Structure 1
Amino acid sequence: MSKRERQNPGAVTILDVARHAGVSPMTASRVINGNPRVGQDLRDRVQASVKLLGYRPNLAGRSLRTTSSARIGVLYSNPSAAYLNELMLGVLEQSSLSGAQVLVEKCGGIASQRAATRRLLEAGVDGIILPPPLCDAPQTLQELDERGIPVVAVAGAQVAGVSSVRIDDYQGARAMTRYLLELGHTRIGFIQGDPDHTAAQLRRQAFLDTLAESGIQLPDDHMVVGMFTYRSGLAAARQLLELDPRPTAIFCSNDDMAAAAMAVAHGTGVRIPDELTVVGFDDTPVATTLWPELTTIRQPVTAMGKSAVALMLEEIRARRAGRHRDATHQVMKHALVKRQSSAALAS
């Protein structure tokens, strides 16, 4: 960090604090926001970095406030740590620039969701961001609506009255499927994500529709359900690679499951991409830590986190001014990123 930056504490972000302390942005946020559920060692490290770097929230967003700073809750149960970390980078960066406070709660089942929601409401949040899969949780959405709490859903279905940020998952999966067909693959395995999640449903349907347009009817045993987790990807990939004949390509509904599929292939002596093409979805950092690097659909997850905060702050501003604001549905661009895990089918 330059001397000039040290003399201008406002230039230091919560991300700088997290990196300096060697902790995740979520941990840094919890410590800075006074969450007691952080170990003393981590708390000391973050507080030392705050003091050394001279961190303080950027209050450029004072115009958003009336009597207090905007407080945004993030309620999550996402099984993909890579996806969640990317999203939180955007949430924390945008909230820091806007002078907003972020409170993060983790949850599991319905009872846990209600308890976590209650904690956020008791903490006085002005609105709540729901990453997947909670963006598709009808009970949570209904409860927040009944309490009059604004919500921004990330990567979920378009719901009336709920602002959202997403990509076109259907078109993203179509682009990937077309790419595999262009490479000559017709015997393609598919590992679906959580079947209750809208994005997983759209990716599956796009895959099947695109194959059908090419006159390809996929055997039922080439479709395996995962849950967006690495462990579920291991089990699904084993099923696919035990088929005879096995698929020449596997399309995984996220990068974590693609990483698992590659691990199973390596463990069974199947060479990637010479004998098997593996592709994913999301383009989280794991995609470029694999060998070979993963071909995937890039979802701008960090930018989606920033946009979710921006939409939430607009809603808070409108409510504090006594104005009604219609829900906003923002669709961000995706991209097919071709790397070394995919190759043309050998003749």
Structure 2
Amino acid sequence: MSTATDTARPTIRDVARLAGVSIKTVSRVINDQQYVSAEKKARILEVMAETGFQPSHAARALAGHRSHQIALICDNPNPWYIYEIQLGVRERCARDKIRMIAQPYDRASPTLLEDITALIDQASPDGLVLAPPACDDQRVLDELKRRGIPFARLQPGLRVEEGPSASIDNDGAAFDMTSHLLTLGHRRIGFIVGDRSYAASGQRLAGHIRALGAAGVELDMALIRQGQFDFASGEAAADALLSMEAPPTAIFASSDDMAAGVLAAAHRRGIRVPDTLTVAGFDDGPTARLVWPALTTVRQPVRALADAATDLLLSPPAAGAAQQRRLPHELVLRGSSAPPGGG
């Protein structure tokens, strides 16, 4: 074969041109990656042998298509939560001089998977951090694995062993808060569940129910109401609970925004908090300190969780090392909680 590379060191571009394929396809063969047909691979290897092509370090870097950026896939009705996640990811990326692409998405969109794959095709990120609920979308996980794209999951609730992840014990956190309310003397405790599409919602409900059982308190399903992690749903759920013939003496909402809605419903009805009604939330974002009275809540370290998930992506654990990091939660006791009757 007579080639233009007879008098010069052949390059990856020469191999691609002579084999009649793209540089990307040659790169995949160099790094022994998938998605190249046996026929094309044989042709590329033949051209490499005939031209004496030796992959350089630069060629191997090209094969990896390192963009020095990662993508954060996030969706949450709480702007503070999204901001904390973005800050945690960005701060960890900055330590390695990596750029972060934040891609909000609509979890209810029928084109969710197509939107994420389009981002991958257009931006070529080196990896993805998946926040809830995308972290539990099996279609997304399967597509990333099929493409060989690294990912880390933030607060996964399903198949936790499927890739590196960072989380808190949502079940344990809810158990601790309900146990605290029981210790104060409350026995009729309303619980507002978060958005069904988030695995954490079910985990927190499970922890609440487990705490009731551990204290020998019979579960009353009428005291459990569905919410959406936002103010309006918390207010609506509280209205339903406070309209009961025997209303609860405490309401535990599984987000601070919903707990703020509970406070609004109570204030509108002239119900004194915490003298007549105790209210507790979950997150410990700015809302918990801005409402009156300030919320008793569960503090989850959102920024630290995002940092940890990103660290697992950028500094993968060695084979056999733990792929999951569990960060601690904390009960924060403020003015919205007291024993029944305020005593």
- TM class by smaller structure: 0.7 to 0.9
The residue aligned with 1:84 is: 82
- How far 1:239 moved relative to its partner? 1.1
- How far 1:85 moved relative to its partner? 1.4
1:338 to 311, 326, 333: 333
The residue aligned with 1:112 is: 111
Q: Equivalents in 1 of 2:118, 2:132: separation in Å?
A: 20
Secondary structure of the structure 2 residue equivalent to 1:111: coil
The residue aligned with 2:127 is: 127
On the 8 A contact 1:173/1:206 being kept in 2, the answer is yes
Q: Deviations over 1:15-53 (max 9, x none)?
A: xxxxxxxxxxxxxxxxxxxxxxxxxxxxxxxxxxxxxxx
On the 8 A contact 2:131/2:153 being kept in 1, the answer is yes
Q: Deviations over 1:237-290 (max 9, x none)?
A: 111111122111000111111111111111221111111111011111211111
Q: Equivalents in 2 of 1:84, 1:197: separation in Å?
A: 15
On the 8 A contact 2:68/2:98 being kept in 1, the answer is yes
Q: Closer, same or farther in 2 for the Cα pair 1:171/1:324, shift >3 Å? A: closer
Q: Equivalents in 1 of 2:113, 2:163: separation in Å?
A: 19
Pairing 1:1-347 to 2, within 5 Å after superposition: 68=66, 70-108=68-106, 109-122=108-121, 123-157=123-157, 158-315=159-316, 328-346=323-341
The residue aligned with 2:48 is: none
Q: Equivalents in 2 of 1:279, 1:144: separation in Å?
A: 38
Structure 1: tracts of 5 or more residues without a match: 1-64
On the 8 A contact 1:94/1:306 being kept in 2, the answer is yes
- How far 1:326 moved relative to its partner? 6.5
Q: Deviations over 1:184-212 (max 9, x none)?
A: 10010000112342211111111111111
On the 8 A contact 1:128/1:151 being kept in 2, the answer is yes
Secondary structure of the structure 2 residue equivalent to 1:234: helix
Instruction: Tell me the TM-score normalized by structure 1.
Output: 0.75
Quick one: which amino acid aligns to residue 308 of structure 1? A
Q: Equivalents in 2 of 1:233, 1:72: separation in Å?
A: 35
Moved more, 242-251 or 190-199: 190-199
- How far 1:82 moved relative to its partner? 2.0
Quick one: which amino acid aligns to residue 91 of structure 2? E
Moved more, 158-167 or 120-129: 158-167
Secondary structure of the structure 2 residue equivalent to 1:174: helix
- How far 1:327 moved relative to its partner? 6.6
Secondary structure of the structure 2 residue equivalent to 1:212: helix
On the 8 A contact 1:74/1:102 being kept in 2, the answer is yes
On the 8 A contact 1:279/1:341 being kept in 2, the answer is yes
Quick one: which amino acid aligns to residue 337 of structure 2? S
- How far 1:324 moved relative to its partner? 6.6
- How far 1:120 moved relative to its partner? 2.3
Q: Equivalents in 2 of 1:133, 1:327: separation in Å?
A: 23
Moved more, 210-219 or 104-113: 104-113
On the 8 A contact 2:299/2:330 being kept in 1, the answer is yes
- How far 1:313 moved relative to its partner? 0.6
Aligned-residue sequence identity (percent) comes to 39
The residue aligned with 2:6 is: none
Instruction: Please report the RMSD computed on the Cα atoms of aligned residues, expressed in angstroms.
Output: 2.0
